[in-house]
Amino acid sequence: MKTKAQQHESIAPNAGTRQLGTRERIVRTASRLMQRQGYDGTGIKQISTEAGATLGSMYHFFPGGKQELAVAAIRHGDAEFVDILRAVLAAEPDPGAAIRELTRSLAEGLRASDWVDGCPVTATALGTAAGAPDIQAAAAEAFAHWRELVFAKLVEAGLTEADAHDLAHTVISTLEGAELAAQVTRSEQPLLLAGVHLTRLLDTYPRPSARG
Amino acid sequence: MKTKAQQHESIAPNAGTRQLGTRERIVRTASRLMQRQGYDGTGIKQISTEAGATLGSMYHFFPGGKQELAVAAIRHGDAEFVDILRAVLAAEPDPGAAIRELTRSLAEGLRASDWVDGCPVTATALGTAAGAPDIQAAAAEAFAHWRELVFAKLVEAGLTEADAHDLAHTVISTLEGAELAAQVTRSEQPLLLAGVHLTRLLDTYPRPSARG
DNA sequence: CACTGGATAGAGCGTTCGTTCTAGTCCGGT
DNA sequence: ACCGGACTAGAACGAACGCTCTATCCAGTG
């Protein structure tokens, strides 16, 4: 089933995404470009060119046009970060240690991209808040997903549900703001300090010393 | 000196900014519009229309075009927030209490604007990071100014310079991220929780009980 | 009065935008 | 052999973009 689309493309339109379906290639390219340039700064034609797709394909897969494409891009960025978050939370038993490791990883990624690849959701959603409710909704859902993962980890570590709920909010807010600050100031410092301070904050909350 | 420009404009182009110089009116309008719509989402012609200026005036005052205008808009937003920050920090002796009050005020403002007026610097700077170094530099300077004010307040409260430096980073990061999260989720909660948690974090640092 | 320079005014430049449209290509099913 | 749906291909549309250009207005100066 699913005939895919491997008819030509012999000249490698987009490194690393060569044998993906056209739709998937479009979404990934859109997500990456909007992450760097924002919604208004990214044109449909730029996406189609860099994805190795044509305008016809763009509107075939996304009849809702640019807005539908942006929603798909945000969902893609959401899922991508969910994977990262899940992995780093699973690798460390202590929530604080996991978050510190996450800030290190985020800082490294940001520096590696020369400070252009920030949060894929933020850049796309900012500036489109008014007049594009579905884009905003997709961004809000992404934040909620991430909060939920942090919440579960904190509860698992023995915090009360009330404390965990509130802290999950601040953990995500601070990570988001620190990534932003790191990007703007072109420095890893905001992210690394956020990791240290979030750990310190978490440590002020009571939890059973052992739980079995 | 300075002939200003009051030749006509009898029909009030922009409420509340009527008797300002044309240049000032342009900067304020640009700052407000870019805060809501981002850099790419805001057109020169929209700014000129809403500011009650003409295209000729735009390029007369800002020969560097849109980029120079964006830098001026960011500096304006920077100065505006410096005033707010200075006022709230001066009104409360305790840094934590001041920051909590600030989050309340930010949340109120955000709700009052129906969640569209976020950080004036962030929205303008995001998405223009690559290829517009002066815009990015202006944004970085703004962040530095705000950090400096928080730093001074923390030192004044008795924290060590090292602790104050690190905490100032996280305070600004968290405020920034919480405002972003509040805007995206259309809720005051991220900001208010950030205030509570930042206070709690500050309270974990040693400081002389009295200093007089 | 004429002259000057800061400021205003807006038509118009070339380009790009998001979108629509028609035509064409591929391929499994029959 | 042929059909029909999935997909590709890109010309073309009106609108908007950032910006340049010339013309005009007005206060100040001689």
Distance from CA of A166 to the nearest CA of B (A): 7
How far apart CA A128 and CA A100 sit, in angstroms, is: 32
How far apart CA A85 and CA A150 sit, in angstroms, is: 8
Distance in angstroms, CA of B147 to C1' of C26?
A: 60
A34-52 mean pLDDT: 95
Which two structure tokens, joined as six digits, stand for A130? 């008014």
Q: Which of A32-36, A127-131, B82-86 has the least mean pLDDT?
A: A127-131
A172-198 mean pLDDT: 97
pLDDT at A140 over 50: yes
H or E element at residue A127: none
Residue A130 phi, psi (nearest 5):
-85, 130
Domains of chain A: 22-202 (1.10.357.10)
Instruction: Check CB contact under 8 Å for A116 and B127.
Output: no
Closest CA to the C1' of D24: that residue is B56
Distance in angstroms, CA of A74 to C1' of D28?
A: 59
Per the structure, the residues numbered 5 to 44 in protein chain B that have their CB within 7 angstroms of any atom of strand C are 5, 7-9, 22
pLDDT the model gives residue A208: 79
A89-117 mean pLDDT: 97
Q: Give the confidence band of A14 by pLDDT, cuts at 50, 70, 90.
A: very low
Instruction: Check CB contact under 8 Å for A178 and B175.
Output: no
Distance from CA of B139 to the nearest CA of A (A): 7
CB pairs under 8 A between A and B: 166
Q: Give the confidence band of A11 by pLDDT, cuts at 50, 70, 90.
A: very low
Which residues of chain B make contact with A204, given a CB cutoff of 8 A? 200-201, 204
Distance from CA of A205 to the nearest CA of B (A): 10
pLDDT the model gives residue A173: 98
Widest pairwise Cα distance in chain B = 61
The string of pLDDT tens digits covering residues B126-153 is 878 777 899 999 999 999 999 999 999 9
Instruction: Check CB contact under 8 Å for B170 and A174.
Output: yes
Distance in angstroms, CA of A35 to C1' of C21?
A: 31
Name the residue facing B197 among A37, A118, A201 (closest C-beta). A201
Q: Are B202 and B96 in contact (CB under 8 A)?
A: yes
* Percent of chain B residues past pLDDT 90, beyond the cut: 83
Q: Give the confidence band of B79 by pLDDT, cuts at 50, 70, 90.
A: very high
The residue whose two tokens read 């060119």 is A49
Name the residue facing B169 among A118, A136, A193 (closest C-beta). A193
Widest pairwise Cα distance in chain A = 61
pLDDT at B12 over 70: no
State which amino acid sits at residue A94. D
pLDDT the model gives residue B159: 97
pLDDT the model gives residue B51: 93
* Whole-number average pLDDT of chain A: 89
